[in-house]
Structure 1
Amino acid sequence: MGEFWPVADVLGYLAGSWRTERTVRDLASGEQGVFSGTTAFGQLEGGGLLSRESGTFVWQGVERPAERTLRFLPGETPGTADVRFFDGRPFHGLDLSSGHHIADHPCAADLYRGEFTALDADHWHTVWRVGGPAKDLVLTTDYTRVG
């Protein structure tokens, strides 16, 4: 993806609902799973957004419900976000002012490296590469605005 869509205010851009399609590839085993659902970014009291992702994850032929909740708080500079897990632990920063951002998140001995790309007003994309002794994964997610 060579073209980025600059975003002046990441929280304003993300607000609302998004169709969420993700593939999860285990590079060690060759297995692949698929998540399909929605991500809703609603206003948080005191500023920021609460991101609620819910849908169905299929892995090795088994379908199960899946969900995740994150907090997107105003970042250190205008237009950016400080992404945190639901319990408040830090996850990563997010700055899409150029339309593209790379973030790292160490998790035990594994490293999560996320690449975020805004494609246009209604589409964005992430690729998380997870590497370390416990995991060797690539998670690719496409978001399409609903409505």
Structure 2
Amino acid sequence: MQTLGRNFNLRGAHCIMQGETVGDIGVSKTISIAANGPLQTFGPAINWNVKTTSYDLWARAMTLPTRPTQINLSDFLGSWHVERHIRHANGTEAQFKGTATWTPNDTGAVYVEKGQLSMAKGASFHAERQYVWDHKLNVFFDDGRFFHSVPLLGEQFTHDCDPDTYRVGYDFDEWPVFRVVWHVVGPRKDYVSDTSYSR
């Protein structure tokens, strides 16, 4: 194994590639690019062949998602595509496809979700729900009751609604695509709701 470092310029951008190689395959690498601004680092990123051209590396690095170090309410504002997969413990499933919109108001933003919910046996109907978010990323039902706080950095939040327990995790690793996964357990409930948001 050897340490690999490569500097190159491409169309005025100063690029730095660092990592390790095993044979001809690069692993555990980062690619940094400075183009008319501060150096931006992408990685851990992609596997590359040592013979890959500088242009290929640059083009592939520019398409990599970057995990944000901080999330603010303003990052959510606007419209998102939503896809949700609901899996019940008894084996039944449902799918939701629609849109979610964060619209700013005096205290934060109103979240409105609209779309089509398709059940396992073919039934399909319109579904809609609404929440209120504040600037600290606390989420409330539209009647003002507290629901949950958005957990960051891989943490989870638990909401107890006797006799049911709602546990949620937010995954921002592929921002601006992100996932919200709920696991709901109770006397009459046991399901996982996995939702993907994308622009």
Aligned residue number for residue 56 of structure 1: 116
Distance in structure 1 (CA, Å) of the matches to 2:115 and 2:186: 27
User: SS in structure 2 opposite 1:137?
Assistant: strand
Q: CA deviation at 1:6?
A: 3.0
TM-score by length of 1: 0.84
1:83 and 2:139 correspond: yes
Q: CA deviation at 1:4?
A: 7.9
Q: What is the CA deviation profile of residues 12-35 of structure 1, one whole-angstrom value per residue up to 9, with x for unaligned ones?
A: 2111111000011111x2000000
Cα pair 2:151 2:169 within 8 Å, conserved: no
Counterparts in 2 of 1:113 and 1:48: CA distance versus 1, 3 Å: same
Cα pair 1:71 1:86 within 8 Å, conserved: yes
Q: CA deviation at 1:73?
A: 0.7
Identity %: 32
User: SS in structure 1 opposite 2:172?
Assistant: strand
Higher relative contact order (CA 8 A, sep 6+): 1
1:1-147 matches, cutoff 5 A: 5-27=67-89, 29-44=90-105, 46-59=106-119, 60-75=121-136, 81-96=137-152, 98=153, 100-145=154-199
Counterparts in 2 of 1:5 and 1:94: CA distance versus 1, 3 Å: same
Listed as ranges, the gaps of 5+ residues in structure 2 are 1-64
Distance in structure 1 (CA, Å) of the matches to 2:75 and 2:155: 15
Distance in structure 2 (CA, Å) of the matches to 1:108 and 1:57: 26
Distance in structure 2 (CA, Å) of the matches to 1:101 and 1:39: 23
Cα pair 1:37 1:54 within 8 Å, conserved: yes
Q: CA deviation at 1:5?
A: 1.8
User: SS in structure 2 opposite 1:119?
Assistant: coil
Counterparts in 2 of 1:4 and 1:32: CA distance versus 1, 3 Å: farther
RMSD: 1.7
User: SS in structure 2 opposite 1:88?
Assistant: coil
Q: What is the CA deviation profile of residues 49-104 of structure 1, one whole-angstrom value per residue up to 9, with x for unaligned ones?
A: 110000000113100000110001122xxxxx1100111110001143x3x33111
Aligned pairs, number: 134
Listed as ranges, the gaps of 5+ residues in structure 1 are 76-80
TM-score by length of 2: 0.63
Cα pair 2:68 2:175 within 8 Å, conserved: no
Q: What letter corresponds to residue 125 of structure 1 in structure 2?
A: R
Q: CA deviation at 1:119?
A: 2.8
